[in-house]
Every structure is written in structure tokens, then in C-alpha cells.
Amino acid sequence: MKHRTRLWIAAGVLLLALLVVGLVLQAFNQLIWQLSGVLPYGLVGPVALLLVLAVAALLVQLAWPWLRLLRPGGAAAAGRERGGKGASRPEAPSTSREAAARNLEAIDQTLERVRDGIAREALRQERQRMARELERGDLTIVVFGTGSAGKTSLIRALLQDLVGSVGAPMGSTTEAQRYRLRLRGLERAVWLVDTPGILEAGASGREREQLARQQASRTDLLLLVVDGDLRASEAEVLRSLAGMGKRLLLVLNKCDLRGDQEVERLLTLLRRRVQGLLPPEDVLPASAAPQSVPMPGGRPLQPPAEVEVLLRRIAAVLHADGEELIADNLLLQCRTLSEASRSLLARQRRGDAEAVVERYMWIGAGVVAVTPLPGLDLLGAAAVNAQMVIELGRVHGVTLSRESAQDLALSVGRTLAALGLVKGGVGLLSAALSLNLPALVVSRVVQAVSAAWLTRVAGASFITYFERDQDWGDGGMQEVVQRHFDLNRREGALQRFLQEALNRVVEPLRRRDRQLPPRPEGR
């Protein structure tokens, strides 16, 4: 059966080939016949040959891309060729340091479009600080915790030198302080940063905690110091910082005040509470400032600080992961700054977009006030404008053709009408604009103000569309238009709009038509 099928296919291919050859020969004979009528006999053959060769070359050129794909590996070769001709995609960064450097370059491009000089300069200074950190690559360890947990004492014990007041009252550290720590075998500089205590009462306490959190978000390694079981607020801070990708060591300080069994119980409890956030070996005991032991007939004995376990763990982490910690921290800071710069640019774009909508609102209202529309249903068309859509797209870096903008504008206009928002908006504004004016003027005022208000609803919908990268979202266009209609009909928003409409529409009409009665008081 298969053999017979193959014979039929071969016969069909052969018949098709004979048909093509016949058509080619017929066309060639027709060409010779046509040329012999206009050329001398000696030129007919050469000219016909040249024409045949030209047609053959054209066919080969057209078919060549398809013939290449039929060769083994032809598709891959064609893809490489297309990639070489077009704008090649940059290779993915191989390290966190390279990714951070690329983020800094992207931040520069974003800042060039920011017009707010003060905000731009603040972001630029932060970008320069990160660039210096990326170049220098010092390791930073932030000591973080409540004021009573013994942070300063722990730093003094780690440095084996007096750097702060032991037993200082809660909240006495009002700003971050840096100290140099030397670790054998580590070429990079290591800085210990003491931060203000967290969870303090009052406005000044919250300000100091904000400073401490800011320092914690910038560090390579974080020591969270506690003096007992984790408080709920301390656990929240730990989860927040761990969620940012920060490497943490949880230090149980003041172990000298407890017996060995109590210390082990607390360490076990802490390891259970941070399970999934920290490995067990990163929960460590310490006695930064052990209490002195009274000695009969002599001076009290001051036991040495017990921070050897913590110091060995810090050294192990920095030796094993120091380079990666620096790069990851800088990458995290770069991403945070990048988000801040994009947010600043987004606010600038929204302001520009709202100014565009505001302008077209009152342009449309002015046109309608001078030339009233024949029917209120036409306000749906007055509420949208293709040129406004084009300008809104330009604000968001999108270039639209006139046809695309018109289609988008008409789609929103039809949605306004289909949802009953045109008639609903006109009715709402008619009730609010019950002015003591002649009927003809009231009709013009209502139409003009309605056109402006519906343009505001449509314009806000377009802004949402462009802010979502030209996507209406899961609810579609209807959900976006309905939401902005509801937002603009709220009492506060509607009253502000009406006050501006009275100044921009009613008063100009009053000045234009001096026979109108004065504006009623209290409206």
C-alpha cells in the first residue's frame, strides 16, 4: 500500500514538473516571437538569453533564504545572521558586581529625564556614593538592636578597645558611628557601624530608628543583637531585613547573666523562631561586658568579654562570602535607587500627563461653549480627542499614529456611552449647575462643562492605560473607565471641578454676553 502511494506521488511530481517545463518553453517561444517583431534577427537570441538569465537570477535571489533554511543548520545560521544585522542583545551579567555597574548606568539615563533639580541631585549623590563603594569595596558590618541590648559594649569587645560608653542610657547613640576592625587574612577594610537603638518611644526615637534601618539596609553583614527572646517587633525587623536579602547574624548578648542551661534554652528557642530565615550556626551567644565579681578584701574581678565564638563566625563568613556579600549588597542598593529614580520619573510623567488632560478639558469646553452641540449624545465624542491621546503617549515615551490614537479615543468614547456614563455625567452636572441663567445659556454651560468633565474621565483612563505599558489590565477598558468615572464623581473631586468650571466657563460666558444676570451668590 505504501509502495503504491509513493508511486502515485512520484507520478504527480513528474506530471507537475512536465507542466512547469511546458509553461516555461511556451513562455520562451512567446518571448522569441515578440522580440523577432521589434529586433533584427541577429539580436533576438542574445537579448532573449539575457532576459532569461535576469529572470533566473531574480528567482534565485527570492528563493535563496528559503533554500538556506533547507540546509542542515540553515535555520541557526540564518538566526545568527539576523542577530548580527540587528541590534544585538547585551549579554546577561555574569556577576553581581557587573549587574550593579549596569544598574548604575541605567540610573544615569533615568536621571537625565528628571526635571526636579533637588530630587535629581539627591539621587545623583546617592548614585555617586554607590559608585565609590563599588570601586573601593570595603566590608561593612552594622550592629543593630534595641538600646538596652548592649550594642556599643559588643563593638568595644570586638575591637578590644574602648569606643563608647558602657552601660549608656537607652537612646544615647543618636547617629551612626564607624570603627575599623582588623581581621587577619582579609585584605579588604572592615568597618563596624554602631546604630541608634530601635523600638524607642517618641518622635525622636522613631527618627533614630529610621536612621538605624537605613544603615541596616546598606550593610554587607548585619548583627542583630538581643538580650533575651525575640520581641514581636524585633522579629518583624528581622523578617523585613532577611526578606531584603541581607546576611544576618543573631547575637544573644548578656549570656553571663544566665546559667549555661538557660543560655542553651534561649539559643534553641531563637533558632526555632528564625528557622527558614537563618541557619542555626548564625545564632550565637556573647557576653560583651560581663558583670564584675566581688573579691573579699580586694578589687572586684572583671572577667574578660566572651565574643570569641562571634568573632570566629564573622571571620568565617567574611572570608568565605565577603566578595559576594559586597556585590549583592551593592546590587540591592542599586536596585533600590533605580526604583526610586523610576518612581520620581513616573510622578513627573503623571504631572505632565495630567497637565495635558487639563488643557484639553478646557479647550473642548471652550469649543462647545462657543458652538453648542446639536445633541447631548455627541458629548461622548467631545470627551475624547485623538491629539490628546498622541500627547499622552508622547509623555510616556510611546509614539502613536493618528489612526491608532483615533481608534483608541473612539473606543473609550464608545465605552463611556455603552456604560451610560455620558448621560449619567450630564445628568449629574445638570443638577449641580442649576444656575439662575436663561435656558439657552444653561444648555450651553451644561454641554461645555460636561464635555470638560467627560474629557477628564477619558484622559485619566488613558493615563492608566499608558502607565500599565499600554495594557488595560484584567478588568479591561470598561473597568478602568468606570473606576475613573466613580473617582471623579466623589463629592470633593466634583466640587473642585465645578468651582474651576464656574471660573473657566460661566464667567467667560457672562463677560461675552453682558445681558446675562449676575452670578448667584453662594453658588
Instruction: Provide the mean pLDDT of the chain.
Output: 75
pLDDT given for residue 240 in this prediction = 85
CA dihedral 421, 422, 427, 433 (to 10 degrees): 120
Band of pLDDT at residue 62, cut at 50, 70 and 90: low
**CB-CB contact of 216 with 144 (8 Å):** yes
Range among 84-93, 296-305, 403-412 rated most confident: 403-412
Q: What contacts 383, CB < 8 A, 6 or more positions away? A: 364, 413, 416, 422, 451, 454, 455, 457, 458
Is residue 168 over pLDDT 50?
no
pLDDT given for residue 374 in this prediction = 53
pLDDT given for residue 120 in this prediction = 72
pLDDT given for residue 137 in this prediction = 65
Is residue 262 over pLDDT 90?
yes
pLDDT given for residue 272 in this prediction = 92
Q: Any idea which residue has 573601593 for its cell?
A: 136
Mean pLDDT calculated for residue range 332-347: 76
Band of pLDDT at residue 377, cut at 50, 70 and 90: very low
Is residue 84 over pLDDT 60?
no
pLDDT given for residue 155 in this prediction = 87
Q: What contacts 19, CB < 8 A, 6 or more positions away? A: none
Lowest pLDDT segment from 50-64, 239-253, 389-403: 50-64
Percent pLDDT > 70 in the chain is: 72
pLDDT given for residue 128 in this prediction = 75
Domains and CATH numbers, the chain: 131-290+303-336 (3.40.50.300), 372-512 (no CATH)
Mean pLDDT calculated for residue range 286-312: 83
pTM: 0.53
| Cell, residue 297 | 578584701
Lowest pLDDT segment from 59-68, 204-213, 222-231, 455-464: 59-68
pLDDT given for residue 176 in this prediction = 63
pLDDT given for residue 366 in this prediction = 76
pLDDT given for residue 163 in this prediction = 43
Band of pLDDT at residue 253, cut at 50, 70 and 90: very high
pLDDT given for residue 166 in this prediction = 39
Percent pLDDT > 90 in the chain is: 13
Lowest pLDDT segment from 18-27, 191-200, 477-486: 18-27
Mean pLDDT calculated for residue range 147-162: 78
Mean pLDDT calculated for residue range 327-345: 74
- Burial tier of 342 (Cβ tally within 10 Å: 0-12, 13-18, 19+): middle
Between residues 80 and 186, the one the model is more confident about: 186
Question: Comparing C-alpha atoms, which of 333, 63, 120 is closest to residue 214?
Answer: 333
230-244 as b/e: b if 16+ CB within 10 A:
beeebeebbeebbee
* Tens of pLDDT, residues 423-433: 788 787 777 77
Adjacency order of strands within the sheet including 283-285: 177-181, 190-194, 139-145, 221-226, 247-252, 283-285
Q: What is the DSSP letter of 502?
A: I
pLDDT given for residue 269 in this prediction = 93
pLDDT given for residue 79 in this prediction = 44
Around 265, how many Cα atoms within 13 Å sit in the side-chain half-sphere? 6
| 3-state class (DSSP) for residue 194 | strand
| 3-state class (DSSP) for residue 20 | helix
Is residue 202 over pLDDT 70?
no
pLDDT given for residue 439 in this prediction = 57
